[in-house]
Amino acid sequence: MRLNAYLARAGIASRRKSDDLIKAGRVLVNGEPGQLNTFVEKTDRVEVDGREVAAQQLAIILLHKPVGHVTTASDPHGRRTVVDIVPSNPRVVPVGRLDVDTTGALLLTNDGALAHTLAHPKYGVEKTYVAEVDGELTNEVLKQLRTGIELDDGPTAPAKARLLGRNRIELTIHEGRNHQVKRMLEAVGLPVRRLHRSGYAGLTLEGLEPGQWRKLEPFEVRRLRRERSPE
Question: Catalytic amino acids?
Answer: 99
Per-residue 3-state assignment (H helix, E strand, C coil) for 102-153: CEEEEEEECCHHHHHHHHCHHHCCCEEEEEEECCCCCHHHHHHHHHCCEECC
Element (H, E) at 7: helix 3-9
CB under 8 A, 24+ apart: contacts of 219-228: 221/60, 224/60, 224/114, 224/118, 225/114, 227/123, 227/201, 227/202, 228/114, 228/117, 228/118, 228/123, 228/125
